[in-house]
Amino acid sequence: MSKVFSWVLTTASALTLSLAPLFALAVEHYQSYRITPQGVVLTTDQGEVSVEFYNPHSVAVWYQPSGVTQLPSLLIGNPAQPV
């Protein structure tokens, strides 16, 4: 396993665990997660939460409720980096 992937997996796990109480308040029923080339996506009964790593110091967290169209991001910069 590469050092970068190991770091991302460790960071994503720590971030997920540290934010778990907040997710529990906002989203009632966790369903699954999947690792993507850029980070991790958590699926719930109300939508998806995605965590994307842009570099070792920048992380973007997105919440996409089910059935809602999200407007394009105003993020300036490079797309998320593969991990």
DSSP state of 21: H
Residue 3 CB neighbour total at 10 angstroms: 7
User: Which residue did the predictor score with more confidence, 61 or 2?
Assistant: 61
The pTM (predicted TM-score) of the whole model is 0.53
Query: According to the model, what pLDDT value does residue 34 have?
Result: 93
- The predicted-structure confidence for 23-81, as pLDDT tens digits, reads as follows 555 546 888 999 998 889 999 888 888 888 888 788 888 888 888 877 766 665 666 66
Q: Across the beta sheet with 30-35, what order do the strands follow?
A: 30-35, 39-44, 47-55, 58-65
Residue 8 has pLDDT above 60, yes or no: no
Structure tokens at 10: 């460790």
